[in-house]
Amino acid sequence: MLQASHAPPVLLITPGMMTALKRQKALSYLAQGYVFVSETGHPIDLNNFRSRVWEPALKKAELKYRYPYQARHSFATKSIREGRDPLWIANQMGTSLEMLFKHYAVYFRRKGSQQSEHKPARIRNRSSR
């Protein structure tokens, strides 16, 4: 059985993301011990984040509501569609290959299946007229 490593994952991020994270860390981490904090310097409250940031962002993007955690599912399915290496996907998500395949095997099957990409043509039986 494959197991997730307990070592911190090595995440792939863009240079712009790294710059933004370093700036944010310099502003908040040294003072509060967290990288992302509220305006008052406290850890972010998830319910407050959902109502003040997440929901307005989804509304502005004209997207149906989904929980923030579901962005994880979007990442996984998009990575599979792009043909990324399953081990890379699992590492980025901080999970094991076993869990990745347990939850996303159907997406890997769809990717390789010709039938899922094209609907079969309907053939009319002429003798039944």
Position 38 scores a pLDDT of 81
Contact 29/122 with Cβ under 8 angstroms? Answer: no
CA separation, residue 108 to residues 3, 23, 75, 105 (Å):
20, 38, 14, 5
- Where are the chain's structural domains? 65-112
The more confidently predicted of residues 57 and 5 is 57
pLDDT at 121 > cutoff 60: no
Position 34 scores a pLDDT of 80
Mean per-residue pLDDT for 3-16? Answer: 69
> pLDDT above 90 covers what percent of the chain?
36
pLDDT at 129 > cutoff 60: no
Distance CA 81, CA 113 (A): 12
Distance CA 71, CA 5 (A): 22
Name the most confidently modeled range: 38-47, 55-64, 119-128. Answer: 55-64
pLDDT at 41 > cutoff 50: yes
pLDDT at 118 > cutoff 60: no
